Protein backbone atom coordinates (compact mmCIF):
# COMPACT_ATOMS: atom_id res chain seq x y z
CA UNK A 1 0.00 0.00 0.00
CA UNK A 2 1.47 3.41 -0.91
CA UNK A 3 2.59 5.54 2.01
CA UNK A 4 0.72 8.78 2.63
CA UNK A 5 2.06 12.18 3.61
CA UNK A 6 0.72 11.56 7.11
CA UNK A 7 2.63 8.29 7.47
CA UNK A 8 5.67 9.14 9.59
CA UNK A 9 6.66 5.61 10.54
CA UNK A 10 9.60 5.69 8.10
CA UNK A 11 10.48 9.35 8.65
CA UNK A 12 14.06 10.25 9.52
CA UNK A 13 14.65 11.43 13.09
CA UNK A 14 14.42 15.18 13.43
CA UNK A 15 17.80 16.82 13.85
CA UNK A 16 18.11 18.79 17.05
CA UNK A 17 20.90 21.04 15.75
CA UNK A 18 22.31 22.20 12.41
CA UNK A 19 25.91 21.65 11.40
CA UNK A 20 28.22 23.77 13.49
CA UNK A 21 29.15 24.09 17.11
CA UNK A 22 27.66 24.93 20.50
CA UNK A 23 29.81 27.18 22.67
CA UNK A 24 29.47 26.62 26.43
CA UNK A 25 30.98 29.38 28.55
CA UNK A 26 31.96 27.78 31.85
CA UNK A 27 31.68 24.27 30.43
CA UNK A 28 34.20 22.79 32.86
CA UNK A 29 31.99 23.26 35.94
CA UNK A 30 29.70 20.79 37.64
CA UNK A 31 26.65 21.97 35.69
CA UNK A 32 28.45 23.22 32.57
CA UNK A 33 30.17 19.87 32.03
CA UNK A 34 26.85 18.02 31.97
CA UNK A 35 25.46 20.61 29.57
CA UNK A 36 28.38 19.89 27.25
CA UNK A 37 27.86 16.13 27.23
CA UNK A 38 24.10 16.53 26.86
CA UNK A 39 24.57 18.78 23.83
CA UNK A 40 26.92 16.19 22.36
CA UNK A 41 24.36 13.46 22.97
CA UNK A 42 21.80 15.59 21.12
CA UNK A 43 24.09 15.69 18.09
CA UNK A 44 26.35 18.72 18.12
CA UNK A 45 30.04 19.45 18.47
CA UNK A 46 31.05 21.54 21.48
CA UNK A 47 33.59 24.22 22.33
CA UNK A 48 33.82 24.98 26.04
CA UNK A 49 35.66 27.51 28.14
CA UNK A 50 37.20 27.36 31.58
CA UNK A 51 38.80 29.96 33.84
CA UNK A 52 41.24 27.97 36.01
CA UNK A 53 40.48 24.25 36.00
CA UNK A 54 42.11 23.01 32.79
CA UNK A 55 42.09 19.39 33.96
CA UNK A 56 38.31 19.44 34.37
CA UNK A 57 37.90 21.06 30.94
CA UNK A 58 40.09 18.43 29.27
CA UNK A 59 38.05 15.69 30.94
CA UNK A 60 34.89 17.15 29.40
CA UNK A 61 36.59 17.26 25.99
CA UNK A 62 37.50 13.59 26.34
CA UNK A 63 33.94 12.70 27.35
CA UNK A 64 32.45 14.49 24.34
CA UNK A 65 34.93 12.90 21.93
CA UNK A 66 34.11 9.47 23.41
CA UNK A 67 30.50 10.15 22.39
CA UNK A 68 31.54 10.59 18.77
CA UNK A 69 31.46 14.40 18.63
CA UNK A 70 34.24 16.95 18.28
CA UNK A 71 35.26 19.11 21.24
CA UNK A 72 37.79 21.76 22.20
CA UNK A 73 38.43 23.81 25.33
CA UNK A 74 39.88 27.29 25.77
CA UNK A 75 40.87 29.30 28.81
CA UNK A 76 38.79 32.49 28.94
CA UNK A 77 38.34 35.42 31.30
CA UNK A 78 35.23 37.00 29.82
CA UNK A 79 35.73 40.36 31.53
CA UNK A 80 38.50 41.10 29.02
CA UNK A 81 36.88 42.14 25.71
CA UNK A 82 39.94 41.54 23.54
CA UNK A 83 40.35 38.04 24.93
CA UNK A 84 36.69 37.25 24.21
CA UNK A 85 36.97 38.59 20.65
CA UNK A 86 40.05 36.45 20.03
CA UNK A 87 38.31 33.37 21.42
CA UNK A 88 35.33 33.68 19.09
CA UNK A 89 37.60 34.36 16.12
CA UNK A 90 39.32 31.04 16.85
CA UNK A 91 35.99 29.23 17.13
CA UNK A 92 34.74 30.64 13.83
CA UNK A 93 38.00 29.77 12.10
CA UNK A 94 37.61 26.10 13.03
CA UNK A 95 33.87 25.52 12.52
CA UNK A 96 31.29 26.23 9.82
CA UNK A 97 29.10 28.24 12.19
CA UNK A 98 28.16 28.88 15.81
CA UNK A 99 24.54 27.90 16.38
CA UNK A 100 24.36 28.10 20.19
CA UNK A 101 26.00 30.09 22.98
CA UNK A 102 25.31 28.85 26.51
CA UNK A 103 26.42 30.98 29.44
CA UNK A 104 26.98 28.61 32.36
CA UNK A 105 29.79 30.59 33.98
CA UNK A 106 29.61 32.27 37.34
CA UNK A 107 32.03 33.77 39.82
CA UNK A 108 32.58 31.98 43.14
CA UNK A 109 31.11 34.53 45.52
CA UNK A 110 30.91 35.19 49.25
CA UNK A 111 27.41 34.99 50.70
CA UNK A 112 26.74 38.37 52.28
CA UNK A 113 23.98 40.77 53.17
CA UNK A 114 23.78 43.87 50.99
CA UNK A 115 24.59 46.08 53.95
CA UNK A 116 27.82 44.19 54.59
CA UNK A 117 29.00 44.12 50.97
CA UNK A 118 32.08 46.16 50.09
CA UNK A 119 32.24 48.17 46.88
CA UNK A 120 35.32 46.43 45.50
CA UNK A 121 33.73 42.97 45.66
CA UNK A 122 30.53 44.29 44.05
CA UNK A 123 32.53 45.89 41.25
CA UNK A 124 34.64 42.78 40.60
CA UNK A 125 31.70 40.38 40.44
CA UNK A 126 29.59 42.66 38.25
CA UNK A 127 32.54 43.12 35.90
CA UNK A 128 33.27 39.40 35.64
CA UNK A 129 29.66 38.27 35.24
CA UNK A 130 27.48 41.07 33.81
CA UNK A 131 30.14 42.86 31.76
CA UNK A 132 31.59 39.47 30.85
CA UNK A 133 28.32 38.35 29.31
CA UNK A 134 28.03 41.62 27.37
CA UNK A 135 31.50 40.93 25.96
CA UNK A 136 30.38 37.45 24.94
CA UNK A 137 27.33 38.82 23.17
CA UNK A 138 29.29 41.59 21.49
CA UNK A 139 31.77 39.09 20.05
CA UNK A 140 29.33 36.31 19.10
CA UNK A 141 26.19 38.10 17.90
CA UNK A 142 27.59 38.97 14.43
CA UNK A 143 28.16 35.24 13.88
CA UNK A 144 24.68 34.20 15.05
CA UNK A 145 23.10 36.85 12.86
CA UNK A 146 24.51 35.18 9.75
CA UNK A 147 22.55 31.94 10.08
CA UNK A 148 20.38 32.31 13.17
CA UNK A 149 21.04 30.69 16.51
CA UNK A 150 20.32 30.65 20.21
CA UNK A 151 21.58 32.11 23.47
CA UNK A 152 20.78 30.23 26.68
CA UNK A 153 21.60 31.84 30.00
CA UNK A 154 21.79 29.98 33.31
CA UNK A 155 19.97 32.35 35.61
CA UNK A 156 18.62 32.22 39.15
CA UNK A 157 15.31 31.73 40.91
CA UNK A 158 16.42 34.67 43.05
CA UNK A 159 14.66 36.88 40.50
CA UNK A 160 11.38 35.28 41.63
CA UNK A 161 11.94 34.57 45.34
CA UNK A 162 14.66 36.48 47.14
CA UNK A 163 17.44 34.37 48.69
CA UNK A 164 19.02 36.23 51.62
CA UNK A 165 22.76 36.97 51.28
CA UNK A 166 22.77 36.05 47.57
CA UNK A 167 22.97 39.54 46.08
CA UNK A 168 26.22 38.79 44.24
CA UNK A 169 24.51 36.01 42.33
CA UNK A 170 21.19 37.73 41.69
CA UNK A 171 22.36 41.22 40.72
CA UNK A 172 24.62 40.30 37.78
CA UNK A 173 22.09 37.75 36.55
CA UNK A 174 19.42 40.46 36.61
CA UNK A 175 21.56 42.52 34.25
CA UNK A 176 22.14 39.46 32.06
CA UNK A 177 18.41 38.72 32.01
CA UNK A 178 17.83 42.25 30.70
CA UNK A 179 20.34 41.59 27.91
CA UNK A 180 18.64 38.28 27.11
CA UNK A 181 15.26 39.99 26.83
CA UNK A 182 16.71 42.72 24.64
CA UNK A 183 18.43 40.23 22.34
CA UNK A 184 15.22 38.24 22.00
CA UNK A 185 13.25 41.34 21.03
CA UNK A 186 15.83 43.01 18.79
CA UNK A 187 17.49 40.06 17.09
CA UNK A 188 14.52 37.83 16.30
CA UNK A 189 14.45 39.30 12.80
CA UNK A 190 17.84 37.66 12.26
CA UNK A 191 16.63 34.30 13.53
CA UNK A 192 18.43 34.73 16.87
CA UNK A 193 16.62 33.48 19.96
CA UNK A 194 17.52 34.09 23.63
CA UNK A 195 16.15 32.34 26.73
CA UNK A 196 16.96 31.74 30.39
CA UNK A 197 16.88 28.70 32.65
CA UNK A 198 16.48 30.09 36.17
CA UNK A 199 17.81 27.68 38.76
CA UNK A 200 16.87 26.93 42.29
CA UNK A 201 19.31 25.01 44.45
CA UNK A 202 20.96 22.35 42.30
CA UNK A 203 22.93 19.49 43.81
CA UNK A 204 25.99 20.28 41.68
CA UNK A 205 28.42 23.05 40.88
CA UNK A 206 28.56 26.03 43.20
CA UNK A 207 26.13 24.56 45.72
CA UNK A 208 28.51 21.67 46.37
CA UNK A 209 31.47 24.04 46.63
CA UNK A 210 29.55 26.00 49.26
CA UNK A 211 28.40 22.91 51.19
CA UNK A 212 29.90 22.90 54.66
CA UNK A 213 31.10 26.50 54.17
CA UNK A 214 28.59 29.14 53.11
CA UNK A 215 25.79 26.52 53.19
CA UNK A 216 25.53 24.22 56.21
CA UNK A 217 23.44 21.07 56.39
CA UNK A 218 20.49 22.99 57.82
CA UNK A 219 20.51 25.26 54.77
CA UNK A 220 20.13 22.28 52.43
CA UNK A 221 17.40 20.74 54.60
CA UNK A 222 15.48 24.03 54.58
CA UNK A 223 15.87 24.31 50.80
CA UNK A 224 14.39 20.85 50.34
CA UNK A 225 11.46 21.64 52.69
CA UNK A 226 10.74 24.83 50.74
CA UNK A 227 10.41 23.09 47.36
CA UNK A 228 7.14 21.59 46.21
CA UNK A 229 8.95 18.44 45.04
CA UNK A 230 10.91 18.03 48.32
CA UNK A 231 14.29 17.49 46.70
CA UNK A 232 17.14 19.34 45.05
CA UNK A 233 17.57 19.55 41.30
CA UNK A 234 20.28 17.76 39.33
CA UNK A 235 22.76 18.90 36.72
CA UNK A 236 21.15 16.52 34.22
CA UNK A 237 17.80 18.25 34.67
CA UNK A 238 19.42 21.62 34.04
CA UNK A 239 21.13 20.26 30.93
CA UNK A 240 17.85 18.87 29.58
CA UNK A 241 16.28 22.32 29.81
CA UNK A 242 19.28 23.99 28.16
CA UNK A 243 19.34 21.50 25.29
CA UNK A 244 15.62 22.01 24.74
CA UNK A 245 15.92 25.80 24.56
CA UNK A 246 18.90 25.58 22.23
CA UNK A 247 17.40 22.96 19.93
CA UNK A 248 15.01 23.09 17.00
CA UNK A 249 12.24 21.88 19.33
CA UNK A 250 12.18 25.39 20.80
CA UNK A 251 12.38 27.18 17.45
CA UNK A 252 9.39 29.43 18.27
CA UNK A 253 10.45 30.24 21.84
CA UNK A 254 12.38 33.38 22.65
CA UNK A 255 12.59 35.82 25.53
CA UNK A 256 11.34 33.15 27.92
CA UNK A 257 12.42 32.06 31.40
CA UNK A 258 12.00 28.47 32.52
CA UNK A 259 12.10 28.40 36.32
CA UNK A 260 13.76 25.11 37.22
CA UNK A 261 13.45 25.13 41.01
CA UNK A 262 11.25 22.18 42.02
CA UNK A 263 8.53 24.63 43.00
CA UNK A 264 10.68 26.70 45.40
CA UNK A 265 9.28 29.98 44.03
CA UNK A 266 5.62 29.02 44.36
Q: Is the CB of residue 262 less than 8 Å from the CB of residue 232?
A: yes
pLDDT digits 0-9 by tens, 124-152: 999 999 999 999 999 999 999 999 999 99
Specify the pTM: 0.90
pLDDT at 21: 97
**Is the predicted pLDDT of residue 252 greater than 90, yes or no?**
yes
Q: How many other CB atoms sit within 10 Å of the CB of residue 231?
A: 12
Matching CATH number, 21-260, of 3.40.50.720, 3.40.50.300, 3.30.1370.100, 3.50.30.60: 3.40.50.720
Contact 250/195 with Cβ under 8 angstroms? yes
Contact 147, 168 (CB under 8 A): no
Kindly report, residue by residue over 16-60, the tens digit of the pLDDT: 999 999 999 999 999 999 999 999 999 999 999 999 999 999 999
DSSP letter for 132, please.
H
Amino acid sequence: MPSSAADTSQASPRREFPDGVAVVIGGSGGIGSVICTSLAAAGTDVVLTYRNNEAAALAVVDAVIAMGRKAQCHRLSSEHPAEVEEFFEQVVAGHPRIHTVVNAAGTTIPMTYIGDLDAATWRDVMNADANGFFNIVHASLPQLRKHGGSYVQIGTVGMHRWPARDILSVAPKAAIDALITGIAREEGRHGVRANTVALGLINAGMALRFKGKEYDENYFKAAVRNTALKRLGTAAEVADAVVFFASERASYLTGQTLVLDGGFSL
